[in-house]
Amino acid sequence: MNKQEITKKLIENHTAFADMIIGLNDTDFMFSFNNKWTAGQQLDHIYRSVAPVKMAFTLPKFIPGLLFGKANRLSKDYDSLVEKYLLKLGAGGVAPGKFVPPIISINQKEQLKKQLLKTVQTLTKKINRHTESQLDEYILPHPLLGKLTMREMLFFTIHHVEQHHAITLRNLQNKL
């Protein structure tokens, strides 16, 4: 995926997820299946996950290189990155503490949607400051996957929201 395709998918996926959450009635928004996260907590988790990616892309380009280094390999393609992530989850990987959402109330719904979509919008603008080769050159740390190229981090971000969208829908189906 090139930058244009990445930014399009980031906006589409996050907008679809946020719109689905906002469209839930209060009961569904607060529903927790088997003590799993509520839809509101899913929304907060996605926001907490996108915010540091946006921050990394906001830094001057040389900072990630100084802090985390440069890639010594080619970026994985989207499917390979997703496969690696699913293997880590299957091995027991979970979100670290700073990505675990608190209890989210109904009156936070709209604000969380606005925060998430604003963050994604800013991220997509910052992606355009980077060349295609820079997305494959600089490394960012991921708490579960280790060192990822910037492009791989964006692939993760695209998949991550799709995954939580599906989890939320699956949890709500269990409500019936």
- How far are the Cα atoms of 18, 27, 45, 102 from residue 97, in angstroms, in the given order? 22, 26, 11, 10
Q: Sketch the domain layout of the chain as residue ranges.
A: 3-173
Give the pTM.
Answer: 0.95
**Cα separation, 78 vs 1, whole angstroms:** 8
CATH topology of domain 3-173: Four Helix Bundle (Hemerythrin (Met), subunit A) (1.20.120)
Mean pLDDT of 139-167: 97
Q: 69-93, pLDDT tens digit by residue?
A: 999 999 999 999 999 999 999 999 8
Q: What are phi and psi of 75, to 5 degrees?
A: -65, 140
Q: 8-61, pLDDT tens digit by residue?
A: 999 999 999 999 999 999 999 999 998 899 999 999 999 999 999 999 999 998
CB 54 within 8 A of CB 119: yes
Q: How far apart are the first and last CA of the chain?
A: 38
Burial, 141: exposed, middle or buried (Cβ in 10 Å; 0-12, 13-18, 19+)?
middle
